[in-house]
Structure 1
Amino acid sequence: MKFLFISPRYSGGIGGHAAMLAHQLENFGHSVTKMETPHIPIKNLKNPSFAILGALKGIMNRQNYDIVHAFNIPSGFAMHYSKGQKKILSAHGVYSDQVKVLHSSTTSKIATSAESRVFKWADKLTTDSQITKKEYKKKFNLDLEYLPSPIDTEMFKKIPEVKKITNQVAYVGRDSFEKGIDILKSIESKINGNVVYCVDKPWDETMKILKSSRLLVVPSRMESLPTVIKEAFYLKIPVIASSVGGIPELVTHNETGILTESENPQLLLKNINELLIDESLQQKLSSNAYDFVIKHFTWKKILPKYLNFYENLLKN
């Protein structure tokens, strides 16, 4: 099969998933072109500029593809104008809800309008979380295919063995409002340990820091299905995370991690300090979480589902 993948970038959450999927498909002998589109790196212009320039790039691209797969709503414009037998749009979280939290009411209205329009351009819609599937069914009466985003366990072979650092707490994610980094910083001085923020570090360096930590904190206000939680599970690092979005699909309280209320810094502080001194619970959570991610979120488990999905789509 000949694929065109469209994503604002090919690292981090959505982009990292697109890059890993492309790599797996190429290993199976398929051809994957990753569209690279520039955009204006300014808050209110980033997505609109990416959508416009992506659409122009799609119009100018004379190549024909079996499948054009766009990995977020702004990518849908390039998807629409690219030549493909079948077109897929993936949603990672509810886009209009995310924009509503982060931008003005005018921008939010534009995003909601664009969202409903872009969905109509795709032959199939997918998502990596059950909560996103449920929310879009409720919001637009849309049926999205659930296709989880796994981790590539082979990539972890290049992460060296490291010594655990006493009471080190890791944060991995963007420095942005929806990720709740400000919530963690507001209690940092009261944490009985040292917080290391991995915001713009390379993946290898981030994983090395995570591996040396006692626990990972995910204080998000909004999420789909965070890759970093799956990575922490694989590295056997206990996780404390907000009970938002698709996180409860990964973190079962007191079994694979600790769930805490979003925007409740005092409860988050209590959970962090209690887990830091409870080595027995740390071991229980990390062991259960490792078993969970190996069972459900590796490419060995998930790639056949993608291949069947693509093949069946081309047949119809």
Structure 2
Amino acid sequence: MRVLMVSPCYYPVKGGTETTVRNLAIALNKIHVQTDVMTFNINQNRNPKWQGKTEKIDGIIIYRIPALKWINSYRFTAGVNFIPSRFTNILKDYDIIHFHEFELSFPFFSALVKKPKIIHLHGINYNFLKRHHISRFLLKHLTHLYISISKQMTNELINLGLPYSKIVYLPNSVDTNLFKSGKRKEENMLLFVGRISQSKGLHILLKSLQYLKDSIRLTIIGPPDWDVNYYQNILKMIENENRKGKHEIKYLGVKEQIELVEWYQKASLFVLPSFIEGFPVTLLEALSCETPVIATPVGGIPEIIKNHKTGILIPTGDSTRLAEAIQYLLENKDIRLKMGREGRTLVTKHHSLEVAAKKLIMIYDRL
């Protein structure tokens, strides 16, 4: 079996979807399912490069095709952003085409090649698809199966008219051999990992610090999103909070996975006060390192965070409730450590790469 995964962005671009694609491709190759990747040739800021390139990383052949414009992987559009012939010629060498959140023009042109296809949805813009009939029509008719990463997403897909029989549930996974508990946790250290976008709620976390009784250290890791104004406001909030002198906040930008592990291992708590989510890999990474989580009940998060067992769920946009949850866990070390252990158990049992790869082969066998 030869599988081609098609993703708008890929390593070294870093994000939840990019990490998932890379991890799944590596895991499948380890169990002798040849899996390669096709992606756009773009830089870290998703700006296009006009030349194509083929390379091999982690034993995976990566086809980087020229992009004609800036990449926005969060919208379903029918706009063409590539030269179709370069795309379809590559598909012919593979048995299964596995799309990851692509512009729908890719499945559209892939119809020229009669191969089984899967669209793996890491997040959907439900309201957009509800309004745009052409995009919804293409989504419904250009693939054999859909992979949904959360139960909420499955319900949304059904509401959009997609047949339940074609929807397969496969939650995200994490490399539990890499992300594991390590050094002793540092006291009063908070960690945020994610794109610096309004939907991730970093501003809510920064606002919550004023309500904390204890001084904390907060480490922020992640790339800026397309909203430059939001990013600049976040930098100002960090500067203002540091100027007060009570808390210490560091923004480290983007880090490699091996560096991320060390930060997860050191952190007392991982905080992700998102407004919108799919099934965040960062939560799995934190729990796999036995770091308890404070998050909001959006997307697939309630499927990972069992309230007061592996973490605490707080209402979206509520900085005071977030501060209360942070203060509670900082003051109760035994509860915090127990939550971390429970989180590690949950992830190793249900969300390891080995579990995901076996499930994915079963999905491929349905085609």
Query: For the superposition of Structure 1 and Structure 2, which TM-score range results when normalised by the shorter chain?
Result: 0.7 to 0.9
More helix per residue: 1 or 2?
1
Specify every segment of 5 or more residues in structure 2 that has no aligned partner in the other structure, as ranges.
48-68, 223-253
Of 81-90 and 213-222, more deviation after overlay is shown by 81-90
Quote the Cα distance in structure 2 between the aligned partners of 1:80 and 1:293: 36
| TM-score (structure 2 length as normaliser) | 0.74
Quote the Cα distance in structure 2 between the aligned partners of 1:259 and 1:60: 47
Q: State the secondary structure of the residue aligned to 1:263.
A: coil
Larger radius of gyration: 2
165 and 284 in structure 1: CA distance in 2 versus 1, 3 angstrom threshold: closer
| TM-score (structure 1 length as normaliser) | 0.86
Quote the Cα distance in structure 1 between the aligned partners of 2:177 and 2:114: 31
Give 2:305's match in structure 1, choosing from 251, 261, 270.
Answer: 251
- 8 Å CA contact 1:72, 1:92 repeated in 2: yes
Quote the Cα distance in structure 1 between the aligned partners of 2:327 and 2:79: 44
Quote the Cα distance in structure 1 between the aligned partners of 2:209 and 2:329: 15
Identity of aligned residues (%): 25
Give 1:120's match in structure 2, choosing from 134, 141, 151.
Answer: 141
1:180 aligned partner, one-letter code = G
Give 2:218's match in structure 1, choosing from 161, 181, 195.
Answer: 195
1:77 and 2:122 correspond: no
1:278 and 2:306 correspond: no
Per the TM alignment, residue 30 of structure 1 is displaced from its structure 2 partner at its CA by: 2.2
1:46 and 2:71 correspond: yes
1:205 aligned partner, one-letter code = E
- Name 1:93's counterpart in structure 2: 123
Specify every segment of 5 or more residues in structure 1 that has no aligned partner in the other structure, as ranges.
101-107
1:2 aligned partner, one-letter code = R
- Name 2:53's counterpart in structure 1: none
- 8 Å CA contact 2:189, 2:217 repeated in 1: yes
Give 1:58's match in structure 2, choosing from 87, 96, 118.
Answer: 87
- 8 Å CA contact 2:8, 2:102 repeated in 1: no
Quote the Cα distance in structure 2 between the aligned partners of 1:173 and 1:268: 17
- Name 1:147's counterpart in structure 2: 170
1:80 aligned partner, one-letter code = F
1:134 and 2:155 correspond: yes
> What are the equivalent positions in structure 2 for 1:1-316 lying under 5 Å apart?
1-10=1-10, 11-38=14-41, 41=46, 45-47=70-72, 52-54=80-82, 56=84, 57-59=86-88, 61=90, 63-74=92-103, 76-82=104-110, 83=113, 85-97=115-127, 113-143=134-164, 144-156=167-179, 161-191=182-212, 192=214, 193-199=216-222, 200-313=254-367
219 and 55 in structure 1: CA distance in 2 versus 1, 3 angstrom threshold: farther
- 8 Å CA contact 1:8, 1:50 repeated in 2: no
Per the TM alignment, residue 115 of structure 1 is displaced from its structure 2 partner at its CA by: 4.3
- 8 Å CA contact 2:191, 2:267 repeated in 1: yes
Quote the Cα distance in structure 2 between the aligned partners of 1:146 and 1:217: 26
Q: State the secondary structure of the residue aligned to 2:364.
A: helix
- 8 Å CA contact 1:233, 1:289 repeated in 2: yes
Deviation string for 1:142-199 (max 9, x for gaps)? 3221012221223337x9x445332010001000111111211222344431111011
Query: What's the RMSD between the two structures over aligned residues?
Result: 2.6
Q: How many pairs align?
A: 300
Per the TM alignment, residue 304 of structure 1 is displaced from its structure 2 partner at its CA by: 1.8
Higher relative contact order (CA 8 A, sep 6+): 2
2:329 aligned partner, one-letter code = L
Per the TM alignment, residue 53 of structure 1 is displaced from its structure 2 partner at its CA by: 2.6
